[in-house]
Amino acid sequence: MLHKSHLLAKSELFQRCSEELTHSERIALSYSRAITIGRFYKLEAEDILLTTPRYWEFHTDPILVMDCSAGTLLTIHYNLCCGTFARYSASRPELAKILEKMLSFQMMGQFCLTELGHGLDVMNLGTIATLLPDGSFLLNTPVMNAAKYMPPTAPCGIPCIAIVFARLIVHGEDRGIKPFAVPLHDGYTMAKGVTVKVLSPRGASRPLEHSLTYFTNVRLHPEALMDTMDKPENVRQGFFQQISRVIVGTLSMGVSALAPMKIGCFVTARYSQRRVVTDASTGKLRPIISFRTQHAPILTVLAHIYVMEAFIKKCVTLFSDNSIDFGLRHCIAAVGKIGLLGHCQESLISLSERCGAQGLFEVNQLSVLHADMRGASIAEGDLLVLAIRFTMELLIGRIEFPKPNDPSGLLAQRELSMIDELRQLIFGSRHHRDRRLESLILPYCQPLMEAIGHRFAYEAAVEQGVDERLLNLYVASFLKKDSAWYSEHAGLPRSEQHKKEQQAIDTVLPSLDQLLQGINIEPYCTAPIISDDMWGRYVDSLKTFTEVPPLVRHAKKEPREDTKIRAML
């Protein structure tokens, strides 16, 4: 079924080639796209708070990755900012009013948690909000390292409010980290005491004005404090409750990785069907898709896509089930994010390499999606550190992840054997925080979480009736990644592993076109390399130099800056 935004994707706003615009024009375009998507989806507070099916439909919509800057603005706005407001607004009418303005996009929301000096150890952040005798607060960035990093907080033509996490100080006592609602700017001018320094562009990804944000004696009225002034009994637990939207964000980031895989796969497949070379033995033209080295990665990514679709459904269902322990739901979000982003990043690299030089150009979507998704791998749960945290919890039995339905399956066997090996290391040491043990275990955390995710995804796909040929290819694609293990423990010598994968590819190959149609992604593919017609239109739109000198052609207009420089040379 087509995504509901498919007509929006075909509109001029989303089809226009932004690569030719200036940096600030691109930023403005991304804001405009974000607001258009938001007004199209019209998510409500309940959707965000309860993570309803509409919430997940939004986060899996490929329109968000046609311009990932728009997608980033929206995920911060909806999940992190509106989601935190929604937690408190039922009992706080003044917060509900602001939330309403944000939901109707009269105001954008930002989320200032991370600091320059405190990323993954953000529990030790330095921003301070001091209670004053009249009940108001004074918000300060006490040292340069406490600058908020790196939400895009610069003026953008629309008023903006942020949730700012700061240490609450009451009569000299540290009451823990609390969220404050802080107006940042009116769209054009910063609020008193708020300073923003726009960081230089990330490069490679779509541009967004990521910034450093500083607070100097910002006076906040008493209602700005969203939570109570009480010190939580358990500081760590209290902190994770305050930032619970980041945990929702972990899975939201994860599910957004499916659309880039689909776009990458579709673009590479269509290009490979169009692109021909002369066959060395017959002298005839043949499309590059006919090479094993071309269709194998495309079919493999297709198998991953179909399995990931089922994986997302399973993770979302379990994550949204409030009867399940919160720690386990967080772990499911982590397994989901690690699995999805791992597949996504690997597939975008392997696919873009198969498009030759065309794979390097932003306009063809592959390289820019890879850079955008690198950001998604870090934001709202860095993959490695998520893996370290949950591997430890699983190994010491603090969290029980659902066991394999079929422990004799190849993926399940490998997962269980990895867990077994790591547990033996732990039980043989004095304490699970022992430094020597840490050195042995840490490098295996991400591979273990990936292994759990692969097995869990496979089971989800079996349960949801995914085509058996795709399931076989999914499993076969992992054998070469740990060839020695499958050879030593699963009785599969390398030649068998290779044969299994080749057979799986052969059985899927005849259905390539049907499988590509089935992922319903064409409206979101703007890469000109996918068809002769699109390539022709792209070439027509390019800046052109002919024998007519540029200055003559621009005679009636003031020459552009770049033309002036060329003329000087």
Ligand X SMILES: Cc1cc2nc3c(=O)[nH]c(=O)nc-3n(C[C@H](O)[C@H](O)[C@H](O)COP(=O)(O)OP(=O)(O)OC[C@H]3O[C@@H](n4cnc5c(N)ncnc54)[C@H](O)[C@@H]3O)c2cc1C
- State in angstroms the smallest separation of the CB of 144 from ligand X: 15
Centroid of chain to Cα 418: 27
Binding-site member from 151, 179, 342, 453 for ligand X (CB under 6 A): 151
Which C-beta is closer to ligand X: that of 198 or that of 384?
384
- State in angstroms the smallest separation of the CB of 388 from ligand X: 5
Which C-beta is closer to ligand X: that of 421 or that of 438?
438
For residue 397, how many other CB atoms are within 10 A of its CB?
A: 8
- State in angstroms the smallest separation of the CB of 382 from ligand X: 5
- State in angstroms the smallest separation of the CB of 491 from ligand X: 36
- State in angstroms the smallest separation of the CB of 65 from ligand X: 13
303 binds ligand X (CB under 6 A): no
**Measuring CA to CA, how many Å separate 10 from each of 4, 15, 25?**
12, 6, 20
Which C-beta is closer to ligand X: that of 36 or that of 72?
72
Which C-beta is closer to ligand X: that of 129 or that of 379?
379
Which C-beta is closer to ligand X: that of 151 or that of 550?
151
Burial-class residue 189 by CB neighbours within 10 Å (0-12, 13-18, 19+): exposed
Q: Give ∠ CA 503-506-509 in degrees, rounded to 5.
A: 150
260 binds ligand X (CB under 6 A): no
Alpha carbon distance 442, 422 (integer Å): 10
43 binds ligand X (CB under 6 A): no
402 binds ligand X (CB under 6 A): no
Number of residue whose CB is nearest ligand X? 119
Q: 3-state DSSP call for residue 300?
A: helix
- State in angstroms the smallest separation of the CB of 564 from ligand X: 35
Which C-beta is closer to ligand X: that of 165 or that of 271?
165
- State in angstroms the smallest separation of the CB of 375 from ligand X: 3
H/E stretch holding 543: none
482 binds ligand X (CB under 6 A): no
List phi, psi (to 5°) of 391: -60, -45
Handedness of CA 499, 501, 502, 508 (dihedral sign): positive
Which C-beta is closer to ligand X: that of 165 or that of 319?
165
Q: Are 328 and 319 in contact (CB under 8 A)?
A: no
β-strands 160-170, 218-220 pairing:
unpaired
For residue 21, how many other CB atoms are within 10 A of its CB?
A: 14
Which C-beta is closer to ligand X: that of 16 or that of 389?
389
Binding-site member from 16, 40, 119, 327 for ligand X (CB under 6 A): 119
Q: Which stretch binds ligand X (CB under 6 A): 107-115, 481-489, 522-530, 544-552?
A: 107-115
Binding-site member from 31, 58, 111, 215 for ligand X (CB under 6 A): 111
- State in angstroms the smallest separation of the CB of 84 from ligand X: 12
504 binds ligand X (CB under 6 A): no
Q: Which stretch binds ligand X (CB under 6 A): 45-53, 87-95, 114-122, 487-495?
A: 114-122
Q: Are 401 and 394 in contact (CB under 8 A)?
A: yes
For residue 420, how many other CB atoms are within 10 A of its CB?
A: 9
H/E stretch holding 170: strand 160-170
Which C-beta is closer to ligand X: that of 120 or that of 349?
120
Site string for ligand X, 368-397 (x = CB under 6 A): -------x--xx--x-xx--x---------
Number of residues that bind ligand X (CB under 6 A): 17
Longest dimension (CA), the chain: 88
Q: Which of residues 170-229 bind ligand X (CB under 6 A)?
A: none
Number of alpha carbons in the 13 Å side-chain half-sphere of residue 145: 8
Of 227, 231, 257, the residue nearest 176 (C-alpha): 231
Q: Are 251 and 316 in contact (CB under 8 A)?
A: yes
Residue with tokens 């052109």: 544
Q: Which of residues 49-88 bind ligand X (CB under 6 A)?
A: 72, 76
Question: 133 CB contacts (<8 Å, ≥6 apart)?
Answer: none
Query: Which residues make up the interface to ligand X (CB under 6 A)?
Result: 72, 76, 111-114, 119-120, 150-151, 375, 378-379, 382, 384-385, 388
